[in-house]
Structure 1
Amino acid sequence: MTQTTRPGHWVEPDSGIGLGLEDIGPGTYNMNIATDRYTSRDYAARERERIWMRAWQIAGRVDELPKVGDWKQYKILDQSFVIVRGKDEKLRGFVNACRHRGNILCNARTGNAKRGFLCQYHLWSYNLEGTLRGVLREELAGQVDKTQNSLLEVSVDTFGGFIFLNPDPDAQPLSEYLGPEVVDLLAPYQLDRMVTVMDVREAVDCNWKVVMDAFEEGYHINGIHPQLLTVLAIDPATSRYQFFDRHSVAVAPFEVKGASTEKQIEGILNLPDTFPSTVAVIPRFQELVAQYHREDGSVEFPDGITARKLLQHATRDTLTGMGLDVSGLTDDQMSDNQGWVLFPNYFMTVRAGECHVIMAVPHPDGDPNRCIWHVSSYMYLPAEHADAFRVGLTEVDEPGSYKYFEALQQDYEQMPRQQLGLRNNRLDHMSLVREEVVIAHYHSVVDRYLAGEL
């Protein structure tokens, strides 16, 4: 397979696929976003019915439920569902309520029900396929039709190692919801083989869409993440975009054009401070750089060699040396984080060997000024090392008690500040700039859902 045939080639300007800002004409998307969608309870109630009760959403990782009978509870607002692995190894989802009097079946976060589910209220029992199997004192219970009282099933499917759930009884297949382009572009990253190395969830004092907006643009890097400027400067002229029916992807080259060679090398050597997974790549990067040391200790690269290219070379060498398959990824994907938005609430930066995911859902109490954010990181590791790095979920009860890696901590502290400003009555809209076109596209999808078009 040549590099030009790889899905990641879309970022090349001559590919004819990706868009630059100059290709997105004025008026393509609404750049004035009304602020009531972040603060209004009425708007949040409409979102509940038209987005959260109808859209596919990620409910966990497949490897959370490895054994027959393993189950987990998934909650969205006041709705509760249970996802379980059946005897046939298939994952199924059900409304988390007994068909008798509605008692919740699974009140914990996870568990195992190898023998099926038993309602603790009146001891009705169900098998792992959701079929009603037993009724207490059945001979006296009257006309209970077991075939009509099975658990209410909800659509569950998987992609990239993630479990997706859709509360809508008439949900379209997940493959159609994602679309073939999304599936093909993400396939070479081996998401399904990645291991969870960070998994944190906590309440944050902002609307769930403030979280989504924060990660859909790089315009804020200069103000919030100045430490990244040594390795990444978002150049609107080189950023590339793809917009799908509901979803999108954007990428900017991971480099600082015009910076001295020494500064670029220094920036890459400091990457582990913000991106811990790069620790494994740095030794090989240093070996490659050493070839170009001059006697006075300075570094001079010949034409065609840059710190970015050496980082790409080092990343491919390191991952391949670990026995990992990165053959389907381009050199750009060795260094450049592609930012994916899967509607409604999934943002992921992904490059060879790792991805970082941000998700946000409305707070269960219905307050539009609060949400639950869920941040996680995944690494592509040799199978023999996976368990040593795998972590479980951390639920943060005390705000501010968990310290994220530097860039993420900076976003965590910024988002509530934005929500405070959005609550001012006279501020009736936000004014986006062209570099925030992903936010504009995202809210166009929100608008279509709220209008009943999707």
Structure 2
Amino acid sequence: MNVETGKLKPGEARCPAETTQEIIARDKVAAPAWAASESYEYLGSEDISKERYTTAEFAQGEFDRMWTRTWQMACREEHIPDVGDYYVYDLGPYSFVVTRSGEDQIQAHFNSCLHRGTKLKPSGTAGFSNNLKCPFHGWTWNLDGSLKEIPEKWDFSHTQDRKMCLPEARVERLGGFVWINMDPDAPSLAEYLGKEIMEHMKAWKLEDRYIYLHVQKSYPANWKLTMEAFMEAYHVGDTHPQVAPANGDVNSQYDWYEDHVDRFISTLGVVSPKLYGKYSEQDIVENFTMGDSSSMGGQKPQLKDGERARQVMADMFRNMFETATKTDLSHVSDTELLDTYSYTFFPNLFLFPGISLPMIYRFRPDARDHRRTIYEVMFMRPRPKDGTEVETAEVEILEDHQSFSEAVGMDPGFGHILDQDTDNLYAQQEGLEASAKPGITLGDYQEIRVRHFEKTIDKYMAMGPKLPNWEKLQRDC
């Protein structure tokens, strides 16, 4: 605040209610350091240009300058547990065969035959293979990318002095994820994410979880619009009014960390500040137990005098999750059990590391239509401590007209929330196309993640093109 005028400086305004950290501080099981922290700084108030969402030229610039330089989550290690397992990761015009080529070796080969360019493995597939064989003429490579066979080799003697190994992207592993980067000169993943986020990742132990539900759907909206729909809780009151009686929406906390990571924390078990005085502690619990898809397993607790809904819910969630996962969660904080922790890992990944809503969102642009996005939702569970075998879910692909609630295994209530989020995208893309205004206006605090994300996009767009370089990618193997 400006001491002389008594006025707030830009970016200092907050919802006039208890803060996220004040709510968390009253919990019985205290929050860990990574949760009990803040990292916000004002980034300006200028409008964001609309052409980045509406023009094919901007989308092509992203493919040429940004996607080729950034670390992206291609798959989970559990997708390729055994030697010979592979997973195809497609990103716009680019495609990679991520394969376990050795017991402790994972590689990401460009998914293109060095003969006439045919894809070695079909887009969107996963499976097992002893080698990488082109379906067109049978050129074959070993799992490590070394050339194994050229049919009728007598006609290709001129290739004997050439490097004929499959080019590959860089690969790093972190948190059970397989990350790839097309740029051989890019910083390491640890440098890219920064020391503080590496500490967060270490604390979450996401390598101890597995994907039990994986759903994919496409939308007629630019990939950035689709991502930004999930970057703030400002929309909850109008888009998800049914959850406001038990969700601290407008007093959510927003943070950003250097260029490539940001987050928000949205508390549950408390009423929206916009509804103060209209709902009791019992009403908050009732909001969670109504309908067929109760977040508390069908239980309908009655609060005793002086009990807080948030604490009762935390205790019940702890017991419910311990029973379901056969895991001791006595050491896990109440906020990890209840609250939504949403981290964006630039450019296209959301991680939700909490216990109640452990999820992954991934967004990929359609190479043929800059107004279309592939959106994936993956749900995680802790691996049972008793060694019970678990099975990684295969992706279920929904048609445009289908609701998320139709996905097998999806909680209908949460599927409805995802539908509410994504239904806005149709109107937003069309509205931007029709708008006479050259940009969009953002809140200084509640929409800081959108601004931070777009500023990082701008940094990459200011660079020259960085296309995969065949000369640099050629290798001996």
d(CA) in 2 for partners of 1:203, 1:320: 35
Query: Which residue identity lines up with residue 403 of structure 1 in the other structure?
Result: F
Residue 87 (structure 2) pairs with residue 63 (structure 1): no
Structure 2: tracts of 5 or more residues without a match: 1-26, 406-414, 467-477
Change (3 A) 1:32 1:271: farther
Q: Which digits, 9 at most, give the CA deviation of each residue in 1:107-126, with x for residues without a partner? A: 25335454312223333221
Residue 153 (structure 2) pairs with residue 138 (structure 1): yes
Residue 344 (structure 2) pairs with residue 341 (structure 1): yes
Note if contact 1:131-1:147 (Cα within 8 Å) is conserved in structure 2.
no
* Aligned residue number for residue 401 of structure 2: 400
SS in 2 for 1:253: strand
SS in 2 for 1:338: strand
d(CA) in 2 for partners of 1:154, 1:147: 20
Change (3 A) 1:51 1:328: farther
d(CA) in 1 for partners of 2:185, 2:331: 35
Residue 442 (structure 2) pairs with residue 428 (structure 1): no
* Aligned residue number for residue 259 of structure 2: 245
* Aligned residue number for residue 296 of structure 1: none
* Aligned residue number for residue 451 of structure 2: 440
Aligned residues between the structures: 422
* Aligned residue number for residue 94 of structure 1: 109
d(CA) in 2 for partners of 1:146, 1:38: 46
Query: Which residue identity lines up with residue 71 of structure 2 in the other structure?
Result: W
Q: 1:215 aligns with which of 230, 233, 237?
A: 230
d(CA) in 2 for partners of 1:338, 1:271: 25
Q: TM-score, normalised by structure 1?
A: 0.84
* Aligned residue number for residue 181 of structure 1: 196
Q: 1:414 aligns with which of 424, 429, 433?
A: 424
CA RMSD in angstroms comes to: 3.0
In proportion to residue count, which structure has more helix? 1
Note if contact 2:145-2:165 (Cα within 8 Å) is conserved in structure 1.
yes
Structure 1: tracts of 5 or more residues without a match: 293-298
Q: 1:300 aligns with which of 279, 302, 305?
A: 305
Note if contact 1:69-1:84 (Cα within 8 Å) is conserved in structure 2.
yes
Change (3 A) 1:198 1:31: farther
d(CA) in 1 for partners of 2:185, 2:31: 32
SS in 2 for 1:408: helix
SS in 1 for 2:148: strand
d(CA) in 1 for partners of 2:243, 2:387: 30
Aligned 1:23-422 pairs, distance under 5 A: 24-25=41-42, 28-107=43-122, 109-112=124-127, 114-139=129-154, 141-145=156-160, 148-236=163-251, 239-254=253-268, 255-256=270-271, 258=276, 259-270=279-290, 273=293, 278-280=295-297, 283=299, 299-301=304-306, 305-320=307-322, 322-324=325-327, 326=329, 329-352=332-355, 354-365=357-368, 367-382=369-384, 390-396=392-398, 398-404=399-405, 405-422=415-432
Report the Cα offset of residue 9 of structure 1: 2.9
Note if contact 2:288-2:296 (Cα within 8 Å) is conserved in structure 1.
no
Query: Which residue identity lines up with residue 401 of structure 2 in the other structure?
Result: G
Query: Which residue identity lines up with residue 450 of structure 1 in the other structure?
Result: M
d(CA) in 1 for partners of 2:105, 2:172: 9
Note if contact 2:262-2:343 (Cα within 8 Å) is conserved in structure 1.
yes
d(CA) in 2 for partners of 1:386, 1:244: 40
Query: Which residue identity lines up with residue 436 of structure 2 in the other structure?
Result: R
Note if contact 1:132-1:147 (Cα within 8 Å) is conserved in structure 2.
no
Q: TM-score, normalised by structure 2?
A: 0.80
Change (3 A) 1:212 1:271: farther
d(CA) in 2 for partners of 1:81, 1:389: 24
Report the Cα offset of residue 210 of structure 1: 0.7
Q: Which digits, 9 at most, give the CA deviation of each residue in 1:361-393, with x for residues without a partner? A: 21121x222221122222225267976785311
Query: Which residue identity lines up with residue 408 of structure 1 in the other structure?
Result: L
SS in 2 for 1:219: coil
Q: Which digits, 9 at most, give the CA deviation of each residue in 1:388-413, with x for residues without a partner? A: 785311122x3122433121111121
Note if contact 1:353-1:380 (Cα within 8 Å) is conserved in structure 2.
no
Q: Which digits, 9 at most, give the CA deviation of each residue in 1:252-310, with x for residues without a partner? A: 3222164312212212324974xx7x445x65xx6xx55x5xxxxxx412xxx411122
Q: Percent sequence identity over matched residues?
A: 24
Change (3 A) 1:388 1:144: closer
Query: Which residue identity lines up with residue 370 of structure 1 in the other structure?
Result: R
SS in 2 for 1:423: helix
Q: Which digits, 9 at most, give the CA deviation of each residue in 1:208-229, with x for residues without a partner? A: 0111110001110011000011
d(CA) in 2 for partners of 1:199, 1:342: 19
